[in-house]
Amino acid sequence: MQSNTLTIAGTEFTSRLFIGTGKFSSASLMNKAVLASGSELATVALKRVNPEDQTEDIHTALQKTGIRLLPNTSGVRTAKEAVFAAQLAREALETNWIKLEIHPDPKYLLPDPVETLLATEKLVKLGFVVMPYIHADPVLCKRLEEVGAQCVMPLGAPIGSNKGLKTLDFLEIIVEQSSVPVIVDAGIGSPSHAAAAMEMGADAVLVNTAIAVSDNPIAMAEAFKLAVRAGRTAYTARLAPVKTGAEASSPLTSFLSENQ
Amino acid sequence: MSVLFQQKNTGTYEQATGEGFYPVFRKYDWDGIRTSIYEKTTSDVYRALSCKKRSLEDFKALISPAAKPFLEQMARESMRITRQRFGKTIQMYAPMYLSNECQNICTYCGFSLTNKIPRRTLTNNEILREADFLKQKGYDHILLVTGEANRTVGVSYLKNAIKLIRPYFSNISIEVQPLETEEYNALIAEGLYAVLVYQETYHEECYKIHHPKGKKSNFKYRLHTPDRLGQAEIHKTGLGALFGLEDWRTDSFFTALHLRYLQKKYWKTRYSISFPRLRPHSGGLEPKVVMTDTDLAQLIFAYRLLDEDVELSLSTRESMAFRDNMIKLGVNSISAESKTNPGGYVVDPKSLEQFEICDERTTEEIAGMIRRKGYEVVWKDWEKGY
């Protein structure tokens, strides 16, 4: 039986659900949701980390859960700013892992592919484990692999939209072609979206808004945990075939029997 | 650069490291793979036929004996996919043998060092005469072929040959001895488009038996040739096994594994597959395993079902009837009127052939046949520079 853990930069994860930490109504609720999700990796916006504040600081609260923290560069608009933010994150959180987010567009927060590629290349050279958030662009994914990204994080739909896998056709190509883990990030709005991503072959999903803004984030976190497990199990078990349509009658291969 | 290794799941296969294909290849045991292919069941074939994206496990099912009753369904699906991807077109190419000098002993090849045949390497003038003949026939895609003799037909000879014929042809491919990455770079700079390099067999021990002497006896060096081509960013790499040396199903699995590895790692390169079966030649070797026309058709369908984009090529080794029928069913590239001896078209038609061809029709006859089937004959499909 082969291992079903996910490995990124030598670190094994048994849960394939990664979780975002924005939009929760309190740090306490966030903690409970994170624990209910079973996730082993939570992203945290560096801009929200306040090492001085020991009360409601998100970083301090998350540390109590024992979950691995993944700082993100949310808020930066260029590769240069991203590199600076990553260096700050390394100092503040004592990790060389970075979720690279560069979105100059303040409305939809769509990632800038050019700056992301430049920043990834630079950060890899500086010793970072880079996890880039990107549009579902198969060519960009291969370019990111080549410069040393440890995974790719294509979006399913715009951040926070909860619209699901609007980029499905491109995600399928990315999963097919990728040599590094593919983590579907952004747009996943319901457990069924997460399950669909996992059934399709994604290595993990990252969810935030769908859990944080639900009426019951703790229950929703658990629902996502189960959905991700179900989707992954279905993928490894291989889905049953879809029935093929009616067959035409004139044979194409009759020449073979005449030929033997 | 080392690409992170990631086991995707239990149904697909491990991917590349920065060390080339050999470490990946070594994870697979020939006998184990062979057994798993022959143990595939009808339900495995059903699944493989119904999948949207097919894995190498599905490919195993499609080439297994269990798939034989499904040949018609496979043909139908192969035809559908091929038409969707390539339309009703067939690309034409012609081989041009430049030399039969060879320093290798290969038990199955007419050019083998131990075969006492007259050796010949074409001069500049002779190359141009052959090129002129093929150009007049309409060819724009030419495949230069030599034995493996680095001293006489090394990189400088090949570079010169490509330079000479470049004004005649848009698309120049080679099937010669494996070279180093920088040597491929030098040939690409002269206008080389594609390199065909067949592993002959992926059975490492069997390979050694059939290649006892010469540089070709280095299994690993040959196996890594497509890696070196990928590093040189060649436009197209052609893969294949020589059918007859070992179990064709197992060899085909390893070819497909190699293909998938290369596609992920060298993603800017196109890939083609050829299906050479052992043919009679001087000092001939009887095939250890016979691959029938039905087997070959099954394999071609399986490749097309595995990969809608890979180019599938049929040479004149195959019979007229087989080629005519397979044109609609999966292949998208064929040769015609081939001569497998240096200078075989006009310079020295009587020099010894590497192997006998089967389909001996003229280029015009074959082009006419393709058109009568409602397909376009494509002579030119590439231009260096964009």
Which of A179, A256, A258 is the closest to B4 by Cβ?
A179
% chain B with pLDDT above 70? 92
For residues B29-44, give the mean pLDDT.
96
Q: Identify the closest residue of chain B to A150 by CA–CA distance.
A: B4
For residues B138-150, give the mean pLDDT.
91
Q: Identify the closest residue of chain A to B11 by CA–CA distance.
A: A236
Examine the pLDDT at A260 and tell me if it is beyond 70. Answer: no
Q: For A184-227, write each residue's pLDDT tens digit.
A: 999 999 999 999 999 999 999 999 999 988 889 999 999 999 99
Examine the pLDDT at A172 and tell me if it is beyond 90. Answer: yes
Strand-pair category, A41-45 with A17-20: parallel
Examine the pLDDT at B362 and tell me if it is beyond 80. Answer: yes
Residue closest to B93 by CA, chosen among B130, B135, B122, B132? B135
pLDDT band with cut points at 50, 70 and 90 for residue A12: very high
Interface of B with A in 8-67 (CB under 8 A): 8-11, 15-16, 46-47, 49-53
Q: For B87-97, write each residue's pLDDT tens digit.
A: 899 999 999 99
Q: For B169-209, write each residue's pLDDT tens digit.
A: 999 999 999 999 999 999 999 999 999 999 999 999 999 99
Cα-to-chain-centroid distance, residue B315: 9
Q: Which long-range contacts (CB under 8 A, 24 or more apart) does A35-38 make?
A: A35/A65, A36/A218, A36/A219, A36/A221, A36/A222, A36/A225, A37/A211, A37/A221, A37/A222, A37/A224, A37/A225, A38/A225
pLDDT band with cut points at 50, 70 and 90 for residue A246: low
% chain B with pLDDT above 90? 69
Amino acid at B283: G
If you ran DSSP here, which 8-state letter would residue B217 be given? G
The count of other CB atoms within 10 Å of the CB of residue A179 is 21
d(CA B140, CA B134): 8
**Packing angle of the helix pair B30-38, B56-63 (nearest 10 deg):** 60
d(CA B152, CA B155): 9
d(CA A27, CA A214): 15
Report helix, strand or coil for B238.
strand
CA separation, residue B195 to residues B38, B185, B186, B239, B243 (Å): 32, 12, 13, 9, 20
Which of B9, B50, B75 is the closest to A252 by Cβ?
B75
Interface touch B6/A253, C-beta < 8 Å: no
Which residues of chain B lie closer than 8 angstroms to A244, CB-CB?
49-50, 73
Q: How many residues make up chain B in this entry? A: 386
What integer pLDDT is reported at residue B116 of this predicted model? Answer: 80
Strand order in the sheet with A183-185: A153-154, A129-134, A97-100, A68-72, A41-45, A17-20, A204-207, A183-185
Report helix, strand or coil for B273.
strand
pLDDT band with cut points at 50, 70 and 90 for residue B349: confident
CB A92 within 8 A of CB A51: yes
Q: Which long-range contacts (CB under 8 A, 24 or more apart) does B15-22 make?
A: B15/A179, B15/B261, B15/B264, B15/B265, B16/A179, B16/B261, B16/B264, B16/B265, B20/B223, B20/B224, B20/B227, B21/B223, B21/B224, B21/B226, B21/B227, B21/B258, B21/B261, B21/B262, B22/B220, B22/B223, B22/B224
What integer pLDDT is reported at residue B294 of this predicted model? Answer: 96
Examine the pLDDT at B5 and tell me if it is beyond 50. Answer: no
Examine the pLDDT at B215 and tell me if it is beyond 50. Answer: yes
Interface of B with A in 239-268 (CB under 8 A): 263-265, 267
d(CA B16, CA B59): 20
**DSSP β-bridge partners for residue B105:** B213
Amino acid at A30: M
Interface touch B71/A146, C-beta < 8 Å: no
- Mean pLDDT of the residues in chain B: 89
The residue that leads in pLDDT, B146 or A239, is B146
Examine the pLDDT at B280 and tell me if it is beyond 80. Answer: no
CB A61 within 8 A of CB A84: no
pLDDT band with cut points at 50, 70 and 90 for residue A251: confident
A-B C-beta contacts closer than 8 Å: 91
Interface touch B321/A255, C-beta < 8 Å: yes
pLDDT band with cut points at 50, 70 and 90 for residue B2: very low
Could you give the ipTM of this predicted complex? 0.74
What integer pLDDT is reported at residue A153 of this predicted model? Answer: 98
What integer pLDDT is reported at residue A22 of this predicted model? Answer: 83
Which of A151, A180, A247 is the closest to B73 by Cβ?
A247
**Stretch among A105-114, B41-50, B249-258 having the lowest mean pLDDT:** A105-114
What integer pLDDT is reported at residue A240 of this predicted model? Answer: 77
For residues A83-88, give the mean pLDDT.
93
Examine the pLDDT at A249 and tell me if it is beyond 90. Answer: no
Sign (positive or negative) of CA dihedral B82, B86, B87, B92:
negative
d(CA B349, CA B285): 24
What lies within 8 Å, CB to CB, of A147 at 6+ separation is A117, A120, A121, A124
**Stretch among A48-62, A134-148, B4-18 having the lowest mean pLDDT:** B4-18
Q: For A92-150, write each residue's pLDDT tens digit.
A: 888 999 999 999 887 788 999 999 999 999 999 999 999 999 999 999 999 999 999 99
What integer pLDDT is reported at residue B4 of this predicted model? Answer: 31
* Residues of chain A in Cβ contact (below 8 Å) with chain B: 2-4, 7-9, 142, 145-146, 148, 150-151, 172, 176-181, 201, 203, 235-236, 238, 240-244, 247-248, 251-253, 255-260
CB B257 within 8 A of CB B266: no
For residues B330-354, give the mean pLDDT.
85
Q: For B110-119, write each residue's pLDDT tens digit.
A: 788 878 888 8
What integer pLDDT is reported at residue A135 of this predicted model? Answer: 97
Cα-to-chain-centroid distance, residue A62: 19
C-alpha count within 13 angstroms, C-beta hemisphere, residue B63: 29
Examine the pLDDT at B258 and tell me if it is beyond 70. Answer: yes
CB B168 within 8 A of CB B137: no
For residues B283-310, give the mean pLDDT.
90
Residue closest to B195 by CA, chosen among B216, B179, B182, B211? B179
Examine the pLDDT at A162 and tell me if it is beyond 60. Answer: yes
- Residue the block writes with tokens 């038996």: B209
d(CA B30, CA B20): 19
pLDDT band with cut points at 50, 70 and 90 for residue B16: very low
Beta strand residue intervals within chain A, DSSP E:
6-8, 11-13, 17-20, 41-45, 68-72, 97-100, 129-134, 153-154, 183-185, 204-207
The residue that leads in pLDDT, B112 or B313, is B313
Report helix, strand or coil for A72.
strand
If you ran DSSP here, which 8-state letter would residue B282 be given? T
